[in-house]
Amino acid sequence: MCGIVGYTGKKEACAVIIDGLKKLEYRGYDSAGVALQKNGRLVIAKGAGSVADLEAKLGDQFKAVTVGIGHTRWATHGRPTDENAHPHSSCNDEIALVHNGIIENYRSLRQWLIDEKGHKFHSETDTEVLAHLVEEYYAGDLLAAVRMSLAMVEGSYGLVVLSSHEPGRIICARQDSPLIIGLGEGENLVASDIPALLAHTRRTIILEDGELASITAQKVDIYNADGCLIEREVFTVTWDIEAAEKGGYDHFMLKEIMEQPAAVKETMRQRIDTTTGKVNLSELDFTAKELSSLEKIHIVACGTAYHAGLLGKAVIEKLAGIPVEVDVASEFRYRQPLLKEKQLVIVISQSGETADTLAALRLARQKGLKVLAITNVVGSSVSREADQVLYTWAGPEIAVASTKAYLTQLVALYLVALYLGETRGSIEPELAAEIVSGLKSLPGHLKTILSEESLSSLRPYCDHLAKWESAFFVGRNLDYPVALEGALKLKEISYIHAEAYPAGELKHGPLALIVRGIPVIAIATQKAVLDKTLSNIHEVNARDGAVFAITQEGFEDVARQVDSVFYLPSINDILAPVLSVVPTQLIAYYTALARGCSIDKPRNLAKSVTVE
């Protein structure tokens, strides 16, 4: 999620690092910093703010320095402050490091380092434990100290480390967070993303999970998880800088769609206890009494986040047995909702800055209700003003059309529903276990859905859809909010007028618009209403509409009814919306592509709507 650059060579390290960090800044960061090796010491400069602020602070002071590491932060653990900015250093200031990812067991490690080893901490971050661990294990070989430290750690990391005792040497390690080594002539680099390297080299080595590397100006040694020196293939980057920012994809939207398996995994990480299989939302501190006495929940959000809320309603009602009302935030604040004791308000917002959502949050708090925020941005207005926050760990979302943030909002809502159900004793343990195991299977299923083969199977239908100015999305039960989200995505990026209907509503009016060839996307993943949905599909077929069905493996009847069908891996119906929305995102994307639309920045829209 954050940006990392490390350099060792003959050039001015500061300039190389600052330039590299700027190439990564398109994701929108909140703090930046560097650690430089200067005359046998480490110098750290860091703070909240942009890379340009850091550059101004550094000025010309370090022109002679040729080794250093740098970081731009997208706050996760701890607010965007000077102290929480990376690099973090050890007590003796002899180790400095930058880190992307999450150290899951940082609390216990921190306690151990303070109580047993006398370390002093300066930040709220999980990362700082790594600096103290490396100091603890350092005995003359930085690589060995990093390896021993990582053996203590659970979580994910792209980690780059410097020691004042080892001039010219950078150590890095990767687990579930990308790191790429750039191979130069008399210089070498490391970065979390390719754009930061391209001004210096196109020859790269992409580190794999579990690998560590020792980098000097002359040499790059790579070690596998067992500590053996290995040979790695060199990957020559042919993308230009713009394509590289998008990870080689044509648009941020497609990149973000492809990031969904990782985003979903990240949002579940640490929140499902691997030994008990129970949901563990230790970041929330509602009392059991507060939760047991809840009589109603209001979910309030806008746009895509509102669609997540509609699914949240269904899932919370089903798993926790609490009645839920869902409101569009701009309506909630003016409809004088009946807000009473024993009610909870959940606001959902990717940006955490949406004006209407923020106003709804304030209204609820004014009326004395507690507000739980589900948001993607640490330090956002919503996160600061809510009583409790559950972060989605989707990472920065650049495309205006929300995709990966939406999926992580759904996952957060499933976790909340399970948490409420388990605390209130309203969910059968077998059902809870089934949902937890289904949640764990999501990243794998999403990868299957995003395979090359699946993507190309959608393209012919999108080429057909691209010729129309109107389309329908239909679904029943949990498929209906997915239909709404699919229609919204298609509208906003392809400019095709799309309407979503509960499938049973077709014959109450919209059927009049069904003519030969009109695109109708039918979501049919819910067993209990499958036959009903099929009969609605039949109504469209009878009028020669062009139906594209999205269903689960095993529902073979669907293929017999329609020309085009997309099979999702089989999953518990409650979780199917997390999978079924993905083909609708892809349909919107490829249709907009076929129409030559401005996909990442659709006309008239902004990523964050901070006005009413």
Active site residue ranges: 2, 607
Query: Which residues, 329 to 358, sit near ligand F6R by CB under 6 A?
Result: 349-351, 354, 357
372 by DSSP, 3-state: which? Answer: strand
Taking the CA of residue 228 as centre, how many other CA atoms within 13 Å lie in the half-sphere pointing to its CB? 4
Give min distance, CB of 410 to ligand F6R, in A: 13
Establish if 76 lies at the interface with ligand F6R (CB under 6 A): no
Establish if 127 lies at the interface with ligand F6R (CB under 6 A): no
Structure tokens at 221: 């040694």
Give min distance, CB of 306 to ligand F6R, in A: 7
Establish if 577 lies at the interface with ligand F6R (CB under 6 A): no
Question: Of 46-54, 303-311, 360-368, 419-427, which segment contacts ligand F6R by CB under 6 A?
Answer: 303-311
| Candidate list 18, 48, 305, 568; residue touching ligand F6R; CB under 6 A | 305
Establish if 591 lies at the interface with ligand F6R (CB under 6 A): no
How many Å apart are CA 563 and CA 556, to the nearest integer?
13
Nearer to ligand F6R, 214 or 380 (CB): 380
Phi, psi at 529, each rounded to 5°: -120, 15
**114, burial (CB in 10 Å: exposed 0-12, middle 13-18, buried 19+):** middle
How many Å apart are CA 173 and CA 361, to the nearest integer?
41
Question: What dihedral angle (degrees, nearest 10) is formed by the CA atoms of 475, 420, 390, 481?
Answer: 10
How many Å apart are CA 396 and CA 162, to the nearest integer?
27
Task: Give how many residues touch ligand F6R by CB under 6 A.
Answer: 15
Give min distance, CB of 556 to ligand F6R, in A: 33
Nearer to ligand F6R, 44 or 587 (CB): 587
Query: Which residues, 460 to 489, sit near ligand F6R by CB under 6 A?
Result: 488
Establish if 392 lies at the interface with ligand F6R (CB under 6 A): no
Decide if 15 contacts 66 (C-beta within 8 A). no
Establish if 302 lies at the interface with ligand F6R (CB under 6 A): yes
Decide if 123 contacts 78 (C-beta within 8 A). yes
Positive or negative CA dihedral for 189, 192, 193, 195? negative
Peptide bond into 569 cis (omega under 30): no
> Would you give the end-to-end CA distance of the chain in angstroms?
30
Establish if 260 lies at the interface with ligand F6R (CB under 6 A): no
Residue ranges of E strands in 267-396? 296-301, 324-328, 343-349, 370-375, 388-391
Nearer to ligand F6R, 349 or 591 (CB): 349
Nearer to ligand F6R, 305 or 435 (CB): 305
Give min distance, CB of 459 to ligand F6R, in A: 22
Give min distance, CB of 222 to ligand F6R, in A: 40
Give min distance, CB of 108 to ligand F6R, in A: 34
Question: Of 24-32, 160-168, 299-307, 556-564, which segment contacts ligand F6R by CB under 6 A?
Answer: 299-307
Establish if 312 lies at the interface with ligand F6R (CB under 6 A): no
Chain residues in the site for ligand F6R (CB under 6 A)? 302-305, 349-351, 354, 357, 401-402, 488, 492, 608-609
